[in-house]
Structure 1
Amino acid sequence: MSSPAPNTRHLPDPQICERARLSRDPRFDGLFFTAVRSTGIYCRPVCPAPAPKRANVDYYPSAAAAEAAGFRPCLRCRPELSPGDGAWRRGDEAVARALKLIDQGFLAERPLAELAARVHLGERQLRRLFVQRLGAAPAGVHGTRRLLFAKQLLTETSLPITEVALAAGFGSLRRFNAAFQEAYRMAPRDLRRHASDDAPAADPAQPLVLRLAYRPPYDFASMLDFLRTRALPGIEQVDARSYARTFGTAEAPGWLRVSAWPAGRDGRTHALKLELQGAAPAQLAALVGRVRRMFDLDADPDAIAAVLSADPRLRPLLRKRPGLRLPGGWDGFEVAVRAVAGQQVSVAAARTLCARIAQRHGHALPAPLAPGLTHLFPTPEALLDGDLEGAGLTPVRVLTVRGIARALLDGRVGFAPEQTLAQFVDSWSALPGIGPWTAQYLALRALGHPDAFPAGDLVLRKAVPDDGSRMATRELEARAEAWRPWRGYAVIHLWRDAAASPPGSAEDTE
């Protein structure tokens, strides 16, 4: 087939793409897509199908760009499973912030002009930046995203097609069928028949299972270690193989579990297994997005290492744990309460305090959703007037938690993805009891911001010199300038190396 020449400005070097395609290098999964002109199909670099001739191949920076050029996704390698391009989809760039909004379904009911306004750009400028970066306009990125998510649900689950349409953000089954047919030249029911051997049999009593791919290496064991020491009884369960928790509301609670996807025949399945129970179809995309952020599945380890390994203190840490990721939190308010409760106390003490708060003020479920999962974490409304001193918080911390709850409810602070790191830190630091350390910690764990950096952290100031001395905060900030835009990963490596991480390691400057 003939197609417009792809935009190569934000692609890896063509020779690198060619080597990655021929070797099926998983480190490049999601960094580019291979389109085959003779078949009209586009693939991931890891596609197991026989490699096409170079003369028939074009490279595209995104699935949306390949689809805009008229290519259809491969049914074998399934481009919907590719991790995002974590090298620039995160952080403060306008395109990155707009993409986060698109991933949350912003364009499903709002015009492009409103999206542009949210990231403080003109509509034409935002469209131009998207075409430069992704090879497709925002509307095309949005359309590709929801159709690929629908494709995953059709392939991996037994959800009725009507529910798949709702989960993918379509207001009607007719519109979904028409969009799917136009983009992929087959009806959703035909894809379901094609995938019937892989999809499980329908059973409402069983959880929904989805595969969430990542770009290797990925240190899942370290991620579980971090989450295990902070797990709240009744709300979370973490063992050596999986993380489980409750979510939702008192009226519609649910639970999820995240574990390693069983290895394939070649032993190289780079994915996590997400099990969901009790999630409404319209919630699925948002829940998957939360899990991807919490487990940092879109990171690009090579891009991170290329910057951080230039520092002699960080270089051996990256070699020791090349797959270390940012361990996120499930809910921003929950992370904020944990951070405040943990100021100047140990991780274990902070966990005990938060467990008491959760047991006293969280919603107790009539029956466990799964073994050990008995409560939902308290809402901001529940903690506005709750007896937090009885749970063990000091009067000052009680005022801080209540101030956070009020500020979230009245919109003075929040976790909206269009914020820059500076905007987020400034708004949160304006609250009584919240200083730069806590605000940066929230950005790291609640937003998954890759450049969040709590420079006043005592552990960091001791860990960087590696000789028993302690750096001044300004000295550490100056040293860390060379780590941008990945300072958050330096934090995690240094905390891990020091075998101690906050809450509990910050000096009380707030």
Structure 2
Amino acid sequence: MNSDNCLSTPSIAACEIARLSRDARFDGVFFTAVLSTRIYCRPVCPARAPKAQNVVYYPSAAAAQAQGFRPCLRCRPELAPGNQLWLQGEHLVARALKLINEGYLADHSLEGLAERMNIGARQLRRLFVQHLGAPPMAVHATQRLLFAKQLLTETDLSITEVAMASGFGSLRRFNAAFAEANHAEPRAFRRSPKARADKALVLRLGYRPPYDFAALLGFLQTRALPGIEQVDGHSYQRIFGKAHAPGWLRVSAWPGEQHALQLELRNVAPSQMLGVVTRIRRMFDLDADPLAIARTLSLSPLLAPVIERYPGLRLPGGWDGFEVAVRAVLGQQVSVAAARTLASRIVQRYGIAIEAGAGSGLDRLFPGPEQLVDADLGQMGITQARINTIQGIAGALIDGRVDFAVEQPLERFISRWVQLPGIGEWTAHYIAMRVLKHPDAFPAADLILRREANPGGDPLSTKALQALAESWRPWRAYSVMYLWRAATDSAAARKVLT
């Protein structure tokens, strides 16, 4: 941690300033370990700040725990957002970390992860230690134990359920690992037991400010499919899982908390909880670093005014990759409202009906590739060309020609998807934005983007827009959100004038 800027790899001086000012923008970017107490903290810790000579900075919670420090009980490192600086770009560590976050090491060995990355296990371990301060298995273990600590603190799940939810198949191994990491038994973190009945399990999900939750909800609301999801100005609800045992979730602002969302879950098995939390963090872009994004994009005279007006815009993800892909095809060269209507027709005819009681007004699951690959999609207002494309995607996913693996490089993803009939660069990049959450995906052929890139003139050509956007790397996907927001302002202004 010795570079000149806390936005990349923090220098000691930059971290010291952020720690003393409790700057929430750096939450999760680094962790402060206190030598005298052997505790590590977030930069926002409310405890009295120790002297500089008594602290050491680490780039990850795993690095601090690997050196024998235990998590602070006041600032709770398990609530810190992830460090997107390691999640963006094509760096091998970033790609491997995405897989770890998806739970890959719960079912695979370090050698399996290394093979997937086309690298030796020893070299992968060395790179992780170099960049994150801890080897891959330690990063995975720390994630599991911090999630367990959150469940013990915030929920009334039994200790056995917490062990299962955090990926431990043995209660004995869980107790031993937890006690070693926290210097206390799991039961020491238990609140007074409560009767659970049919209450939702509630978790707090942290983020770095600024965060425009209203804008993200607005994006999802205009695209919400009746029966599958409900969105209003305050929350997002959805059902998911299997027809015989559907889960329900709701995401809203954490009451009285400026830098967290509230996730409510019902009917979710402990073994599925970490996966659901990971998916929601991706969908709501909770690990983004808005300061780093704005620092690059604000250098553009075109984007700077929009960023100043709307700080904290996020990149909305999608719950399911196939669902996003189908909706992207339906949205080719038509309005968002028209695409939503077409998708709703598919849901009504081929959506998977669920058992009653999973959530008011929510009674469908989006059909999977198996349901649509040979489905009769005629008489819905969908062109035959788009029907062929949707069914081509379904077939390609079934036979493995394409996938939504989060660790794959952007160029490889695009090159594979554009080989499918009816999939061009725009559609492939849009899917990469919403599903892979790749921060540099950029659908340059988008007419709105080309129009907003040249205010008052003719739309830029795709090639001209690509050239203009070179300086926006590696955050071009966020530039899309800002330009789309600018287009909304332009449309509103034209409406007032007419």
Q: Distance in 2 between matches of 1:95 and 1:173?
A: 31
Does the residue aligned with 1:210 lie in a helix, a strand or coil? strand
TM-score, structure 2 normalization: 0.95
**1:254-293 correspondence runs (5 A):** 254-264=247-257, 269-293=258-282
- 1:434 aligned residue (420, 423, 434): 423
Displacement of 1:466 = 1.2
Q: Distance in 2 between matches of 1:363 and 1:208?
A: 25
Displacement of 1:294 = 0.5
Aligned to 2:196: 203
TM-score, structure 1 normalization: 0.93
Does the residue aligned with 1:318 lie in a helix, a strand or coil? helix
Q: Distance in 1 between matches of 2:47 and 2:333?
A: 55
Which amino acid in 2 is paired with 1:471? L
Q: Distance in 2 between matches of 1:431 and 1:280?
A: 36
Which amino acid in 1 is paired with 2:409? T
Displacement of 1:390 = 2.7
Aligned to 1:401: 390
Q: How well do the aligned residues superpose, as a CA RMSD in angstroms? A: 1.4
Aligned to 1:505: none
- Kept in 1, the 8 Å contact 2:244–2:355? The answer is no
Displacement of 1:368 = 4.5
**1:350-361 correspondence runs (5 A):** 350-361=339-350
**1:52-451 correspondence runs (5 A):** 52-192=50-190, 196=191, 201-264=194-257, 269-451=258-440
- Kept in 2, the 8 Å contact 1:294–1:328? The answer is yes
Report runs of 4+ in structure 1 exceeding 4 Å deviation: 7-10
Q: Distance in 2 between matches of 1:353 and 1:317?
A: 32
Which amino acid in 1 is paired with 2:399? D
Aligned residues: 486
Displacement of 1:120 = 2.0
1:20 aligns with 2:13: no
Does the residue aligned with 1:256 lie in a helix, a strand or coil? strand
Which amino acid in 2 is paired with 1:344? Q
Instruction: Using the TM superposition, name which of 479-488 and 182-191 deviates more.
Output: 182-191
Aligned to 2:494: none
Q: Distance in 2 between matches of 1:118 and 1:364?
A: 37
Q: Distance in 2 between matches of 1:72 and 1:65?
A: 11
Q: Distance in 1 between matches of 2:459 and 2:365?
A: 41
Deviation readout 1:273-310 (Å, 9 max, x if unpaired): 00111111111111111100110000001111111111
Displacement of 1:91 = 2.8
Deviation readout 1:329-384 (Å, 9 max, x if unpaired): 11000001101111121111110110110111011223242222111111111112
Displacement of 1:87 = 2.1
Does the residue aligned with 1:446 lie in a helix, a strand or coil? helix
Aligned to 1:506: none
Q: Distance in 2 between matches of 1:331 and 1:482?
A: 31
What runs of 5+ residues in structure 1 fail to find an aligned partner? 1-6, 502-510
Aligned to 2:479: 490
Q: Distance in 2 between matches of 1:291 and 1:46?
A: 23
Q: Distance in 2 between matches of 1:160 and 1:487?
A: 44
Which amino acid in 2 is paired with 1:121? I
Instruction: Using the TM superposition, name which of 84-93 and 283-292 deviates more.
Output: 84-93
Aligned to 2:495: none
Which amino acid in 2 is paired with 1:243? Y
Deviation readout 1:152-172 (Å, 9 max, x if unpaired): 111111111111111111111
Displacement of 1:272 = 0.3
Displacement of 1:95 = 0.7
- Kept in 2, the 8 Å contact 1:8–1:60? The answer is no
Displacement of 1:500 = 9.0
- Kept in 2, the 8 Å contact 1:146–1:169? The answer is yes
Displacement of 1:205 = 0.6
Q: Distance in 2 between matches of 1:13 and 1:239?
A: 42
Q: Distance in 1 between matches of 2:380 and 2:178?
A: 53
Q: Distance in 2 between matches of 1:364 and 1:108?
A: 31
Q: Distance in 2 between matches of 1:91 and 1:331?
A: 22
- Kept in 2, the 8 Å contact 1:118–1:418? The answer is no
Q: Distance in 2 between matches of 1:386 and 1:137?
A: 47
Q: Distance in 2 between matches of 1:85 and 1:403?
A: 36
Which amino acid in 2 is paired with 1:216? P
Which amino acid in 1 is paired with 2:207? Y
Q: Distance in 1 between matches of 2:303 and 2:380?
A: 40
What runs of 5+ residues in structure 2 fail to find an aligned partner? 491-498
Does the residue aligned with 2:86 lie in a helix, a strand or coil? coil
Q: Distance in 1 between matches of 2:489 and 2:347?
A: 24
Displacement of 1:448 = 1.0
- Kept in 2, the 8 Å contact 1:159–1:202? The answer is no
